[in-house]
Amino acid sequence: MEYAVYSNKGKLRENNEDSYLIKSESFLLFAVADGMGGHQAGEVASKLAIDYLGDYQFDLKGDLFAQIEEVIKEINQEIIRTGLKDPECIGMGTTLSLGFIYEQDLYIGHVGDSRIYLFRDDKLRQLTRDHSLVNQLIEQNRITSEEAFNHPQRHIITQALGIETDLKVDLKKMALKKGDLLLFCTDGLSDMIKFKDIETLFLQQSDINKLSNLLGEKAMENGGNDNITLIICKMG
Query: What is the residue-averaged pLDDT of the chain?
Result: 95
Could you report the per-residue pLDDT of 134-150, keeping only the tens digit for each? 889 988 988 888 888 87
CA-atom Rg of the chain in angstroms: 17
Domain boundaries, position 161: 2-234
Q: From residue 70, give the alpha-carbon distance in Å to each of 14, 44, 62, 65, 109.
A: 33, 21, 12, 8, 10
**pLDDT tens, position by position, 44-78:** 999 999 999 999 999 999 999 999 999 999 999 99
pLDDT in tens, 176-212: 999 999 999 999 999 999 999 999 999 999 999 999 9
Which helix (DSSP H) or strand (DSSP E) does residue 229 occupy? strand 228-234
CATH of the domain at 124: 3.60.40.10
Q: Would the pTM count as exceeding 0.85?
A: yes
Q: Work out the average pLDDT over 213-236.
A: 97
pLDDT tens digit sequence for 79-111: 999 999 998 899 999 999 999 999 999 999 999
Total domains present in the chain: 1
